Structure 1
C-alpha cells in the first residue's frame, strides 16, 4: 500500500495468485479477477454466454444483485415481478430480460431436466453452489455435470460462501465434481476485496472475445491479501477448526434452547455455516429481541455464525454464557406475554429467500 496499490497494469501479485489458484485446481487453466463476489458471478456468466453464444442461464442459489440474476424474478407479466424469491425485487431490471434466467431447487433433478428439455441448445450455463448447508443427495451433482455436458451448457460452481470453509480449494474438490468455471470471493482475501473466476481454457474462451474490464480489478491489495490468505490456509487446517468451533456453537444453541424451553431449532448441516431459527408465530420479534439482548452483552449476533480461525474456545465460552442469559430472558418475556414490552426497538427487516 505504501508503494501505491492502484495501476491499470496487472500487479505481479495477480500473476502469483493465478498460478496458485490453477495449482490448487488442476482442471483450471485460466483466471480472471474482480474485487467482489457479485462482479465475479457476473463475469462468469458473461464468459459463459460469450463462449457458448447462448443466452439462457439456469440458476440455483443466490448469486448477487445484478440484472442477469434478478431477471429470474421477472414473471410472465409485470404484476408478478418479485414473486419467485422474496426480498429480491427486480424493479429496475429491464422487462426484456424476462425468460433469460430460470431457476431450479437444489437436489431437484426433475426441475433441472425440465429446464433442459424446454431450452435445450439455448442454455448457456448452469450456475449453482456445489453445496450450501449440507451434502448433496447421492448422485445429484454427477447428474448436473452430465446434464450440462449433454446439452452443451457450461457448469459454473459458485464457491463464494462455502469455498474455503469446507475444503482448501473449495467444496467441489471435496465432493469430487469438476465444473467448467468456478467463482471465489469473500474468504479468498480474508476480508479484503477480491474475486476470482477460474476455468478451463475452452470455457474461458469468451473472456478473450467479450469486453470485460474495470480499472479497480487491477488494484493490488486484493491479490496480495489473497496470496497471503492462501498461504495461511495452506499451512493450517482451517476447515477442521471452523467445523469444531461451529459444532460447539450449535451445541450451545441446542442446550440452552432446551433448558429455557424456547422454540429454538438448530438447522442441520455444515457447522462452518451454523445457523438456527425460532419456530414460533412471533419468530421475527424473537429474532430481533435476541440480537438486541446480545448487543447489550457485547456480541453482534444474528441467528447465523460463520466461524473463523480467530474464534477460539475461550471466545465460545463467553458466547455460551451470553446465550444462556439471553435465552432465559427471552423465555421469560414470551411466557409472560410481554414480548412487545421487552423489545428495545422495532422489529428488524427479514432477509431474502434462497433457492436451496
Structure 2
C-alpha cells in the first residue's frame, strides 16, 4: 500500500518582519492562495493542509484557506513542531512534506522530484536545503511521520520546536538525505520575508499572469533576462530568520517605518551589539529583562537609561499606578497628586519655592529654558559642554539628525552649535571658569544651564564660582539634574556641593520607569512662566505624579541613594580588580551610581562590543557602564564578575596581538558619546 503523503504548509499572520504577508494580495489573490494552488498540482501529494496557530489574528487566514477547500489545523503559536504533529495525525500522514508560507513560488514538479528521491533513498529525512543549491524560496523537506513524532517526543529545545526540523537534521538519530541541483543557485532569493522580497515575487506573478503553472526553470530564465526585476532583495541573507531572534527581526522591521528605528538614540541596537542585540523586551522585573523569545538577562547595563533606581516593576510603585488607573487617569479637573508632588520637591530643596511638571527630559529642559529666558528678559544662553559637547536637548535635538559615529553633524558649526541657534547658544567646557567669564564678557547672556557633575567632578570650586558669577551678573542659573538626581542624595546632587541654583530639573529616576519630570525654582524666576505660554494636556495626567510620590516615599524609606552609591563603588572596584588581574589599563568615569570605564586602547570600542557579545551569551546585558539599582545585590555582582573575568582575558589576548575583529560576530558598536545619557 502506497504511503499517504501530506504536504503541511506552516503559515500565520504574525510574521515579525512582514506582518500579514500570507494574506497580502499579489494581483487579485492572497499570497497563500497562490502558494496552495501551485503546491496542489504536485502529483505525489495526497493532501495539502494548512498548519497555523490558535491566535485570533489568524482568523482571516483560516477563513480564506477553508473557503479554498483545504483543511486547517490549529495549534501552538510558538511550538510549531507540535502543530505539525497535530496536522500529520489528523490527516493520517505516513510521509510529511514541509513547506513554509513564505514560499509562494514553490514548484510542484520539484516537490514531486523530492518525494521520489526520498522514497528511493530510504531515509528518514530529506531536503534540498541541507546543502543549498536551489534558489531560496524553493525549500522542500520530506520526512516520515514516525521520525517527526520521535523528534517531538525527544526535544524540548525552543529552537527545535519553533523551526520543526533541526532535531531531525542534527541530532544524529535519523538517516538524512540531500537533494542538490547540478548548478549552485543558492544565491538567488525568491522567498518572501521582507517588503523587498514581496516586490520581487509579485513582479514574477505579474509577468506570468494569469498562469499559475509556470515552472521554477521559467522563473530562472526570467531572472536571467531581467535581472533588474530581482535586484531589490539581493542584499538579504538566506535563512536569516532562522538565526535571528524575534527582537532582531522586529528591529529590522522598525527601521523601515521609524527614523533611526526607535524613539531614543541611546536604545538603538547599534549602540550595543549591531546585528545581534535582542532590541525588544517582553517583561522586566528587578534587574532582569526578558526578550521577546523569553530569554532572561541580568541587566548590568543602563537599566532603562537610568530610569529605575528601585529596579524594574517595583511592587509598591506599580501598585500606586494601578490604583490610579482604576480611579481614572484624566479628567476635566486637575489631579491632586501634582500639588502633593510639587510640595514634596520643594520640601526636599529648601532654596526652591515652586515647581512645574512635565513628562520627559527634553520637555523639562525646554520648559526650564523658556522660563529662565522670560525671567531674565534675555534670549542668550550659556550651556556647559564637556570637551565640545553641548546640551543635548537645547542644541543637538534642534539641529539635523545626529551621526552615530560621533562626528560633526550636518548643519553644525565646529563648536557643535546648530546653525539655527547661532548667536543664541554659547557652549563652554566644564571646569573651565575662565572660558565662561570670557563668554559672559563678550555676550549679553541671560541664562547659564549646566549639569552639576559630568564624567568627572568639579575642580577648584568651579560650581561655587559659577554660582557667584551668575548672582553678580543677574543671570539665571539652571542645574540639569535629569540624570544625576536622586543618585547620591534624596534630590539633586548639587546638595552635596552646597551650591543652590535658581532652577533645577529632575527626570529619569523620579517615577521609577513612569514618565514624569519636574522643574523647580525660586519664586521670582518660576512666576515668569505666567508671562510665556508653557502648557501641555498630558502634563496633567495622573500616572506620572502618582508614580513619583510613591517612588520618593520608597527611596526615602530605603535610603536608596546610599545603597546604589555603595554598589556602584563595588562595581568600580570589580572592574579595576579584573583590569589589574589581566594587566589592562582602564579609566573610570561617572557618578558611582552610574559608573563607567574605558580601556586605554585604540581598540576600546571593539573591546566594549566584545564584552557585550560575550556577556549576552552568558545571560547578561553588559558593556562598559552600569546604571545601578537597588536590586543589584552582592550575589548578582559576584556572578557578573565571574562571567566577565574570561572576557577580560580575551581582551588581554587581543592587546597581545590577537585580532579582536575576528572574535566579533558582527560590526563594532557605534560610539555615541561618553556622556551617560
Q: Secondary structure in 1 aligned to 2:620?
A: coil
Structure (1 or 2) with the larger CA radius of gyration = 2
Q: Secondary structure in 2 aligned to 1:49?
A: helix
CA pair 312-8 structure 1, distance change in 2 beyond 3 A: farther
Q: Quick check: 2:379–2:446 contact (8 Å CA) kept in 1?
A: yes
Moved more, 1-10 or 236-245: 1-10
Query: Structure 2 matches for 1:181-200, cutoff 5 A?
Result: 181-200=503-522
Q: Secondary structure in 2 aligned to 1:64?
A: coil
CA displacement, residues 72-127 of structure 1 (integer Å, 9 cap, x when unaligned): x9xxxx98725334xxx94xxxx4421211111111110110111011xx312101
Unaligned runs of 5+ in 2: 1-324, 402-408
CA pair 8-298 structure 1, distance change in 2 beyond 3 A: farther
Q: Quick check: 1:8–1:218 contact (8 Å CA) kept in 2?
A: no
Q: CA deviation at 1:198?
A: 0.4
Q: CA deviation at 1:136?
A: 1.6
Specify the alignment match of 2:374 in structure 1.
50
Q: Secondary structure in 2 aligned to 1:262?
A: coil
Specify the alignment match of 2:361 in structure 1.
37
Alignment partner for residue 64 of structure 1, among 387, 392, 403?
392
Tell me if 1:83 matches 2:414: yes
CA pair 84-13 structure 1, distance change in 2 beyond 3 A: same
Partners of 1:300 and 1:15 lie apart in 2 by 38
Specify the alignment match of 2:425 in structure 1.
101
Partners of 2:509 and 2:531 lie apart in 1 by 30
Partners of 1:187 and 1:79 lie apart in 2 by 32
Q: CA deviation at 1:3?
A: 2.5
Partners of 1:311 and 1:31 lie apart in 2 by 32
Q: Quick check: 2:365–2:394 contact (8 Å CA) kept in 1?
A: no
Alignment partner for residue 18 of structure 1, among 342, 348, 366?
342
CA displacement, residues 135-193 of structure 1 (integer Å, 9 cap, x when unaligned): 32242211111111122110001111111101112111221111110100011111111
Partners of 1:126 and 1:212 lie apart in 2 by 20
CA pair 68-318 structure 1, distance change in 2 beyond 3 A: closer
Q: CA deviation at 1:326?
A: 1.5
Q: Quick check: 1:252–1:323 contact (8 Å CA) kept in 2?
A: no
Q: CA deviation at 1:207?
A: 0.6
RMSD: 2.4
CA pair 134-68 structure 1, distance change in 2 beyond 3 A: closer
Moved more, 11-20 or 236-245: 236-245
Moved more, 43-52 or 344-353: 344-353
Q: Secondary structure in 2 aligned to 1:2?
A: helix
Alignment partner for residue 283 of structure 1, among 595, 604, 611?
604
Alignment partner for residue 340 of structure 1, among 653, 656, 661?
661
Q: CA deviation at 1:261?
A: 2.8
Partners of 1:304 and 1:82 lie apart in 2 by 30
Partners of 1:158 and 1:41 lie apart in 2 by 8
Query: Structure 2 matches for 1:1-356, cutoff 5 A?
Result: 1-7=325-331, 9-61=333-385, 63-67=391-395, 81=412, 83-85=414-416, 90=418, 95-119=419-443, 122-263=444-585, 265-267=586-588, 270-352=591-673
Q: Quick check: 1:51–1:206 contact (8 Å CA) kept in 2?
A: yes
Q: Quick check: 1:127–1:157 contact (8 Å CA) kept in 2?
A: yes
Greater RCO, CA 8 A, separation 6+: 1
User: Taking structure 1 as the reference length, what is the TM-score of the superposition?
Assistant: 0.89
Q: CA deviation at 1:332?
A: 3.0
Runs of 4+ in 1 over 4 A off after TM superposition: 66-71
Partners of 1:57 and 1:328 lie apart in 2 by 48
Unaligned runs of 5+ in 1: none
Partners of 2:605 and 2:560 lie apart in 1 by 33
Q: CA deviation at 1:337?
A: 2.3
CA pair 221-246 structure 1, distance change in 2 beyond 3 A: same
CA displacement, residues 30-83 of structure 1 (integer Å, 9 cap, x when unaligned): 111000111101100000011111011011146433458757x9xxxx987253
Partners of 1:283 and 1:133 lie apart in 2 by 17
Q: Quick check: 1:253–1:266 contact (8 Å CA) kept in 2?
A: no
Partners of 1:337 and 1:180 lie apart in 2 by 54
From the two aligned structures, give the one with the greater helix fraction: 1
